[in-house]
Each structure stands twice: as structure tokens, then as C-alpha cells.
Chains A and B, each alone.
Chain A
Amino acid sequence: QQQVKQSPQSLIVQKGGISIINCAYENTAFDYFPWYQQFPGKGPALLIAIRPDVSEKKEGRFTISFNKSAKQFSLHIMDSQPGDSATYFCAATRGSARQLTFGSGTQLTVLP
């Protein structure tokens, strides 16, 4: 049972373009939605996160948009750079354990 669905599976963007990755969740008990960036051979690293009482959060070139009624959230990377080429995972967490439920990942390639 996939509780967090992520799309697209892969994304190719020109340098300077906007990268958009979408996620949808099923469990309304989720109360925190982080995005992680993972480079080959490394563990995931937190990029940006949002709570469901906020519709948008921006940190530098990275923005999360959150639609609670639709149970969807997305990551926008503005002015995408080749160094942004990595795999991006959306995630959700809930409960006292705060375990992360991850999406299946999006492999982003930014062309120079």
C-alpha cells in the first residue's frame, strides 16, 4: 500500500528552468511533509518541509506548495542548476514515532 505517490519518475530540465515534482498522500493523519534530496552513494538530506496549516513555504530557490483539501503537495525548484541533479523524495510523517513514509522518488537531471 503506497501511502505517498510521487510523480514524475524522472525529469529533465534545462539550466535556469523550473523543476516541478508532485506528490499525493492518502492518510489524513500525516502532519508534516518534508522533501529530501539524495545524491548517489549518500543518504537522503532534508531540503525543505511544510506543515498542513501552511499553503506555501519558500526557502531560496525551493518552494513547497500544499493543497490540504486535495491531499497534494509539490516541490518547485526555480532557476534549476546542474548541481541540483539528484533524486528527490517527498515524505510524510505522523504519530509519536515520527517515522517517514517516502514517495518513490524523482530522478532530476538538469542539463547545462
Chain B
Amino acid sequence: AQTVTQSQPEMSVQEAETVTLSCTYDTSESNYYLFWYKQPPSRQMILVIRQEAYKQQNATENRFSVNFQKAAKSFSLKISDSQLGDTAMYFCAFMKQNTGANSKLTFGKGITLSVRP
């Protein structure tokens, strides 16, 4: 079974600054995906960024980037130039690759990020 650990329940950052959210996971699988999902107070869960485990290059999406350390089983999210709209709960998630109809996301407990004006 897979586990995803987000050990920080809450973080706060000043607008325009950079913040890093940590995530570790445990799995015996070789092929998998990792995700960061964002859920603002309005509650719609949206995908922020994804990483395929076989890719060594860290994924980036505009102000969002990850530091993927496969050997250490670490997958942190860096948010640059934080904006007020980044205030949300962030979930780290894992999914095995090639499981077809039985694909399931394993979520971490989440972290509440507050961006201060």
C-alpha cells in the first residue's frame, strides 16, 4: 500500500514571496504519478502540477514547480511570487501507473496555505 505524508498542517507566506510545501511518500512501485491539487475556500479541487516518476526533470507550471527526489521519495511544491489567490488547501497525491479502471489517488492530509497581503 502507498502512503503520502504532509507533515505541516498550516503555513503562511507574505504576498510576492516564495513558499515550499513538503510531501513525502512511501511505495514499492517503480512507475507512478505524483500530483499537487489545490482546493481554495470555494472548494473546487484543481490540479496544480503533476510529475511522472520516470521523468528526472522536475515539472514546472508557471509560478509552480516541484522538487522531485525519487530516491528520497520526496515531492515538494514551490510557489514563487505568491498571490492572494494561492490561499487554499493543498493536497499531495500519488497514483500507480497503468492500473486502468482501478486507478486510485492516495492523498496526503493536506496543508492549509495562507497568503498575507
Asked whether A and B interact, the reply is no
